[in-house]
Structure 1
Amino acid sequence: MSIRLNPYLNFHGNAREALEFYHSVLGGSLDLMRYDSIPGMMGGDDEAEKIMHGQLETEDGLTIMAADYPASMAEAPDASTGGNSISVSGDDAARIRAAWQGLAAGADIVEPFERAPWGDTFGMLRDRFGVPWMFSLAPQPEEADAG
């Protein structure tokens, strides 16, 4: 048995662009299902190309799911509204630094990715889609020894 917890992001028409960007940065496998894959399920005919469900799975266990709201939900808050963040943490320095650098392209850097008072390397950004991210890299052995 297993259980997972992962973010599910909602967008107003740019879920494909966001997921393809995350895929280019994080790698893995991306599956996209458009509204028109199940006729009559979501939105009107003019919304056929919107993403009903998208899922990015990486080899190291990261999962991000996302979808576009139909026009009937134009007032619903999307992933850029705030009140949440995607958090990436661990001790794989190369992987976490690469994810930070990739997602920082076109992002608003809220907190630079640097050594924090508690010892981790920590940073926060709002990516080009307005989605907030937090990164925390555990101290590396050489950093812990020097500390």
Structure 2
Amino acid sequence: MTIQTTAHLNFRGNARDALAFYQSVFTGDLTAFTYREAQAVTDPAEADQIIWGQVLAEDGFHIMACDIPSATLWEPGTIPVFVSVRGEDAEKINRYWKGLVEGGTIVRSPAEASLSPLYGMVRDRFGITWVLDVQAAYPAS
């Protein structure tokens, strides 16, 4: 059996915008279903918000997202999460960085680091912190 782990991001009313932004950075196919389409509307004002969506790219990038209903507790930043994008191609990692930093905040500019030939962090315009790095070989512990 093979498994995959995928980051699933929660938003409050702007999951569609976030997914479109991530698609513009990473390419791939965007799929999104609304609460209305899933017949799961609890608040008519939120019927067209995203109950589940994803961006899935041919190179393996995959992210999922949804809008948390207003009746559900949601405290962004209280329990921070980093989304890691790691690859072997520095040019591609830099391209992703340039896309994510648009409208975002640089946490650490891409540069050589002790554990990676290229490592950077950015908080995007939706408040998600991304770690982008070029994969390095690590000795087993």
Return the TM-score normalized by structure 2: 0.89
1:76 paired with 2:74, answer yes
Alignment partner of 2:123 out of 118, 123, 126? 126
Q: Which residue of structure 1 lines up, in the alignment, with residue 132 of structure 2?
A: 135
Identity of aligned residues (%): 39
- Contact 1:82–1:132 (CA under 8 A) maintained in structure 2: no
The answer for unaligned runs of 5 or more in structure 1 is: 140-147
**Structure 1 residues 31, 77: CA separation in 2 closer, same or farther (over 3 Å shift)?**
same
What SS is found at the alignment partner of 1:120? Answer: strand
Name the CA distance, whole Å, in 1 between partners of 2:117 and 2:21: 26
CA drift at 1:120: 1.9
1:88 paired with 2:94, answer no
Higher normalized strand content (fraction of residues): 2
1:10 paired with 2:7, answer no
Aligned residues: 136
The alignment yields a C-alpha RMSD, in angstroms, of: 1.5
What SS is found at the alignment partner of 1:130? Answer: coil
Name the CA distance, whole Å, in 2 between partners of 1:32 and 1:22: 13
Return the TM-score normalized by structure 1: 0.86
**Structure 1 residues 50, 89: CA separation in 2 closer, same or farther (over 3 Å shift)?**
same
Structure 1 or 2, whichever has the larger Rg, is 1
1:109 paired with 2:106, answer yes
Runs of 4+ in 1 over 4 A off after TM superposition: none
CA drift at 1:138: 3.8
Higher normalized helix content (fraction of residues): 1
The answer for unaligned runs of 5 or more in structure 2 is: 137-141
- Worse-matched range after superposition: 80-89 or 6-15: 80-89
CA drift at 1:81: 4.4
